[in-house]
Amino acid sequence: MATELKPGQKRLTPGAIFADIAIVAWFVFALFPILWMLLLALKNDAQQTSTYFAFSPTLENFGTVLSQRGTDLTSVDFKSAILMSILNCGGAVLVSLLIGIPAAYAAGRYRFKGSEDLMFNMLSFRFAPELMVIVPLFVIYTQIGLFDTVFGMIWVLQLVTMPLIVWILRSYFEDMPEDLEQAALLDGYTRRKAFTMVALPLVRPGIAAAALLSFIFAWNNYVFPLILSDTAASTVTVAITKFLGGGGQAYYNLTAAAALIGALPPLVLALTIQRYLVQGLSFGAVKG
Amino acid sequence: MSTATAQSSPGGPGPAGPDGPDGSRRRGAPPKVSDRARKLRPYLLSVPALVVVIGILYPFVLGAYYSILNYTASNPEPHVVWFANFASVLKDPQFWASVRVTAIFAVAATVIETVLGVVIALLLNRSSFVGKIFERVLILPLMIAPVIAATIWKLMFNPQFGVLNHVFGLGTFDWLSKDTALASSILVDVWIYTPFVAILVLAGIRSLPREPFEASDVDGAGWWYMFRRLMLPMMWPYILVAVIFRFMDCLKAFDHIFVLTAGGPGLATRTLQIGAYEDSIIFQNFSRGSTYMFLLWILVFITAKYLVGVLGKAQRRAAGAEE
In a domain, B103, yes or no: yes
Is B236 within the bounds of a domain? Answer: yes
Decide if B74 is inside a domain: no
Residue B180, domain member (yes or no): yes
Residues in chain A: 288
CA A93 to chain centre: 11
Measure the CA–CA gap between A261 and B318, rounded to whole angstroms.
45
Q: How is B258-294 classified by DSSP, letter by letter?
A: HHHHTT-STTTT--HHHHHHIIIIIS--HHHHHHHHH
DSSP character at residue A46: T
Q: What domain count does chain B have?
A: 1
Q: For residue B7, which residues of chain A lie inside 8 Å, CB to CB?
A: 183
**Distance, in angstroms, between A68 CA and closest chain B CA?**
22
What pTM did the predictor assign?
A: 0.85
Strands (E), B2-139: none
Kindly give the interhelix angle for B181-206 and B232-251, rounded to the nearest 10 degrees. 140
Q: Is residue B214 part of a domain?
A: yes
Rounded to 5 degrees, φ, ψ at B72 are -130, 170
DSSP, collapsed to helix, strand or coil, labels residue A10 as: coil
Closest CA to B267 of B86, B88, B91, B101: B101
Name beta bridge partners: B80.
Answer: B69
Q: Is residue B99 part of a domain?
A: yes
Helical residues (DSSP H) of chain A, grouped into ranges: 14-41, 60-66, 68-74, 78-109, 115-127, 130-144, 150-175, 178-186, 191-193, 200-202, 204-220, 223-228, 236-243, 252-272, 274-282
Provide the chain B residues 143-162 that lie in CB contact (below 8 A) with chain A.
Answer: 143-149, 151-156, 158, 160-161
Could B16 and A130 be called an inter-chain contact, meaning their C-beta atoms sit closer than 8 Å?
Answer: no
Phi-psi region at A210: left, alpha or beta (left = phi > 0; alpha = psi -120 to 50): alpha
Domains of chain A: 14-61 (no CATH), 72-287 (1.10.3720.10)
Banded pLDDT at A218 (limits 50, 70, 90):
very high
Closest to B200 (Cβ–Cβ): which among A114, A237, A282?
A: A282
ipTM: 0.86
Instruction: Give dist(CA A124, CA A117) in Å, integer.
Output: 10
**CATH number of the domain that B146 lies in?**
1.10.3720.10
To test the contact with chain A by mutation, choose from B19, B44, B46 the residue with the greatest count of A C-beta atoms within 10 A, namely B46
Q: What is the pLDDT of residue A285?
A: 60
Backbone dihedral angles phi then psi of residue B37, each to the nearest 5 degrees: -65, -35
Please give the residue of chain B at the shortest CA–CA distance from A143: B76
pLDDT for residue A12: 65
Low-confidence ranges of chain B (pLDDT < 50): 1-31, 323
Q: Round to whole Å and give the CA distance between A11 and A81.
A: 53
pLDDT digits (tens, 9 = 90+) for B92-126: 899 999 999 999 999 999 999 999 999 999 888 87
Q: Let me know if residue B20 belongs to a domain.
A: no
Cβ pair B46:A133 closer than 8 A: no
Q: Residue B239 falls within a domain, yes or no?
A: yes
| Residue B104, domain extent | 87-322
Tell me the per-residue pLDDT of B195-233, one tens digit each, with 9 for 90 and over.
999 999 998 888 888 888 788 778 877 778 888 888 888
Chain B residue with CA closest to A256: the answer is B152
